[in-house]
Structure 1
Amino acid sequence: MHTIITSRHFELTDSIKDYIYHLTESLGKYNLDILSVRVVISYQEKKGHKKGEKKKKCLFNIDLTLSLAHANTVVINQNDKDLYAAADLAISRMHKILRRYHDKIHHKQAIPSETIVANQILRDEASAHKGEDEIVPMDLDLHKPLDIEDALERLKSSSQQFFVFNDKDSKMRVIYKRTDGKYGLY
């Protein structure tokens, strides 16, 4: 992970650089192939606009840009009166985003293995009860939308009595062989 820390309108000290660098290193714990982190710290002084108010308002702005391989760039902008508080808030927001992205990726990868295990359990139970009515579990490809014509061709080319599929409108449909030789559709 390549980290770039820059400042605008004030001088960046070594202690601030070390603090920000330490915070950005903690983003690597999600194993998301982070290409680069760019931190731009700017300082603004605003004069009060109310009548009789001469007090200056100091504000630190942190722009945190994180580039991930195979994903969109994440940008966070955080303002605060205290530089360290702004940095902590920006990094905690980035942790939240990366944690959600990490969970989303690993949850998608976990589903197929759980499905395989569940299907194997169903097959084992079905083979254990040979004397009774046998239930044979089927693997369904419900994640691919199909046209009705494509589903009909799949049913014709198989020895199954029915075929379950999602159509282009994301509705679950069933096409089946009727006893009169025609096909029905739910």
Structure 2
Amino acid sequence: MQIAVTFRHMESSEAVRTYVEEKLAKVKKYIDEPIDAQVVLSVQKKINHKAEVTMVAKGLTMKSAEEKDDMYAAIDLMVDKIERQLKRYKEKLKRHKGSTGTQRKVEKAVIAAPSVDEGHENPEIIRSHSFFVKPMSVEEAVMQMDLLDKDFLVFTDDRSEEMNVVYRRKDGNYGLIVPQGS
């Protein structure tokens, strides 16, 4: 497991770095693949200690962040949260049979707001990114969205092979957008 620890607004401490590495080592039992973990430890206003982690393993990205008045307590809570997410993910994988559909390539583009607001014929594209959308069940898509801490997720339904969108509603529930045939 590769672990990068960044200290913000606080002194770098080898004891804290070692503590983080020891705590994160226990999540290796949930994922066999190589894991890359980015940990950011920060202190805000001298009393709020924040521990954040982003873990990437086998195409799966998980995030966790916790705040406490003690750095070690914040690290413990952060690791507990990421461990719960991994347990939930592993249990869902056991229940979910492998998908037989094919991945689709999708392109995401960020468009400049003024170019749309002013009615330009060709909106200005600031950035674009291509990625593959893998087939999954609605339940798996919701879980992946939660693990990524996103508000929506585009995925291919593993049964219908249609492109779908699952999103988090303001009331805390989830919504699903399914295309209808013409």
Answer yes or no: is the 8 Å Cα contact 1:78–1:86 preserved in 2.
yes
Indicate the structure whose relative CO is greater, using CA pairs within 8 Å and at least 6 residues apart. Answer: 2
Separation of aligned partners in 1, 2:159 and 2:69: 52
Query: More helix by proportion, 1 or 2?
Result: 1
TM-score (norm 2): 0.52
Separation of aligned partners in 2, 1:95 and 1:17: 19
Separation of aligned partners in 1, 2:56 and 2:28: 12
Separation of aligned partners in 2, 1:19 and 1:144: 44
1:106 aligned counterpart, secondary structure: helix
Query: More strand by proportion, 1 or 2?
Result: 2
* Structure 2 counterpart of 1:69, one-letter code: K
Cα deviation 1:72-116 (Å, max 9, x = unaligned): x21111110000000000000000000000111122249xxxxxx
Task: For residue 144 of structure 1, report the CA deviation from its aligned partner.
Answer: 4.7
Q: Paired residue for 1:77? A: 65
Q: Paired residue for 2:7? A: 7
Q: Which runs of 4+ in 1 moved over 3 A?
A: 143-146
101-110 vs 86-95, which moves further: 101-110
* Structure 2 counterpart of 1:24, one-letter code: L
Separation of aligned partners in 2, 1:85 and 1:98: 20
**Correspondence for 1:105 among 93, 96, 112:** 93
Q: Paired residue for 1:87? A: 75
TM-score (norm 1): 0.50
Structure 1 unaligned spans of 5+:
46-56, 111-142, 147-167, 170-186
In terms of Rg, which structure is larger? 1
Separation of aligned partners in 2, 1:70 and 1:63: 19
